Structure 1
Amino acid sequence: MSEENPPEAPSEETAAAPERTEAAKPGPGLLEIRDLMVVFDGFTAINGVDLTVGEGELRFLIGPNGAGKTTLIDVITGLTKPTSGTVRFAGASLAGRKEHQIVRLGIGRTFQTSVVFEELSVLENIDLAASFRRPLASLLRRRKGVTDEVASALETIGLRDLADRPAGILSHGQRQWLEIGMLIAQGPKLLLLDEPVAGMSKDERERTGELLTEIARDHTVIVIEHDMEFLRRYASTVTVLHEGSVLVEGDVAAVQADPRVQEVYLGRKKEEAA
């Protein structure tokens, strides 16, 4: 994906007050981020981000390359330590927690490149992912049958017919679904998905959109995405990041129509957007 060089940043007054439509107002905050700053060797990657994601939301996070999207997810999952600010999940502060501790709190994440065990079957991949909640001694015993959470995850991602096939034979899209299934089997409250439809065929993108909609009935989901067609079809609430700050927040129609988004994300100048 080519790098984009966004035009001149909006004024300080504009950047300090991101727009929010009525549709974007969240419910009770499952994830609450306040005044978040991340600075790497003098470079400000995240600049005073405030973000609230309500329980049960399917939130899309967009912005040009370098906007701070992945860094924000890295902070939530404990991969990157913030310079200042707070991140709270289900009322608990994530400050100082290690990555595995954050997973146990109920936060799961996928990366742009799927990570599955190719030699293991689809079922074994999901069962292994679910095993982190089981006592160590039980992992040394031969498994008998399939647990409810594993069976449910397998059904949700639509790979039941391939349960006994090695993961290495799966298509790109199926691998992404398997990784999502591995997260679901861990029983998370919040799923963070980094560009889940990148490289997928049209049919795979449609199936992934349906899958995300289904998952969001029982989970809170944050999706980093660049595919604008996918965004228009499946997003309800969208947060736009630009140069490490929240630029605009609202429903799809309002975000698309905003001249600042057209300028910094879609690459249109103000006079063209008018």
Structure 2
Amino acid sequence: MTALLEIRGLEVVFDGFRALDGVDLTVDQGELRFLIGPNGAGKTTLIDVITGLTRPAGGTVAFGGADLVGRKEHQIVRQGIGRTFQTSVVFEELTVVENLDLAASFRRPLRTLLRQRRGISDTVAEALETIGLTALAERPAGVLSHGQRQWLEIGMLIAQRPRLLLLDEPVAGMSRDERERTGELLTAIAEDHTVIVVEHDMEFLRRYASQVTVLHEGRVLVEGGVAEVRADPRVQEVYLGRNREEAA
């Protein structure tokens, strides 16, 4: 497989605290990678570095062979990287389809943004179908359930046609049914995209993850398949060991 994201020796220091301490990470094209670890392990900081929100003290981040360190957020988006945050960010007063159309518009020439939308573009229609919100296309985003808002935000990323999606705790606060639908959605998205998921829900991890990277104290503790990672005594001690029932 071809490496899409290659991180080497990544270091981030906040007021003397090493949030990331020599992280090496390789994610291949078309991979669905889960990133786990206890609070403070450096998961979100790692995502922030990839997307340009945080500048590292050392190391390299290469995406498709291009160095991302020092690039601005909008430049990284145009490179083909999109992310969600722990709290969904949608425009509540706009409809579902208007949110998707707005997200898709960043690749369109400025003159086309001044025209009134007529119909639904193929890109937006595909995103609607993928996230399962076609029937709610004309509903204001503000009336959606928590899970539906998360799916809409994922759809807004898909509409931008990224090569890499970074999803920060996408099932946080969801019901069991919503988590199941989200797992199916991520599996479907991974057929055409590379996806990195930051997650704490271990049941969700067991059901939908294939490759897992465990962070601890700013370092990569272990990587591998779900069964391999769960069986590693180091993981049980620093992460799963906090809840032995989940480790069983």
Q: Give the TM-score, by structure 1 length.
A: 0.88
Q: 1:163-197 CA distances to partner (integer Å, 9 max, x unpaired)?
A: 00101110000000000000000000000000000
- Name the structure 1 match of 2:241: 267
Tell me how far 1:267 sits from its aligned partner.
2.5
Instruction: Give the distance between the partners of 2:69 and 2:131, measured in 1 at CA.
Output: 33
1:129 aligns with 2:103: yes
109, 116, 119: which one pairs with 1:145?
Answer: 119
| 2:5 is the alignment partner of 1:35 | no
Distance (whole Å) between structure 1 residues aligned to residue 242 and residue 94 of structure 2: 47
Letter in 1 for 2:16: G
Q: From 143, 155, 180, give the equivalent of 1:181.
A: 155
Tell whether 2:22 aligns with 1:48.
yes
- Residue in structure 1 matched with residue 74 of structure 2 by the alignment: 100
Q: Which residue of 2 aligns with 1:73?
A: 47
- Displacement, 1:268? 5.4
SS of residue matched to 2:223: strand
Q: Look up the match of 1:195.
A: 169
For structure 2, list consecutive stretches of 5 or more residues without a partner in the other structure. Answer: none
Aligned with 2:241: secondary structure? coil
What is the aligned-residue RMSD (CA, Å)? Answer: 1.1
- Matched with 2:139 is 165
1:64 pairs, out of 38, 44, 64, with: 38
Q: Secondary structure at the match of 1:267?
A: helix
Q: Which runs of 5+ in 1 are unaligned?
A: 1-26
| 4+ long deviations beyond 6 Å | none
Partner of 1:206: 180
Measured against aligned partners, the alpha-carbon deviations of 1:26-74 in whole angstroms (never above 9, x if no partner) come to x311000001000111110000000000000000000000000000000
- In structure 2, the residue corresponding to 1:238 is in which secondary structure? strand
Distance, in Å, in 2 between the alignment partners of 1:91 and 1:149 is: 27
Q: Any idea what SS the aligned residue of 1:112 has?
A: coil
Inter-partner Cα distance in structure 2 for 1:151 and 1:84: 42
- Give 2:206's match in structure 1, choosing from 219, 222, 232: 232
Q: Percent identity?
A: 82
1:249 aligns with 2:223: yes
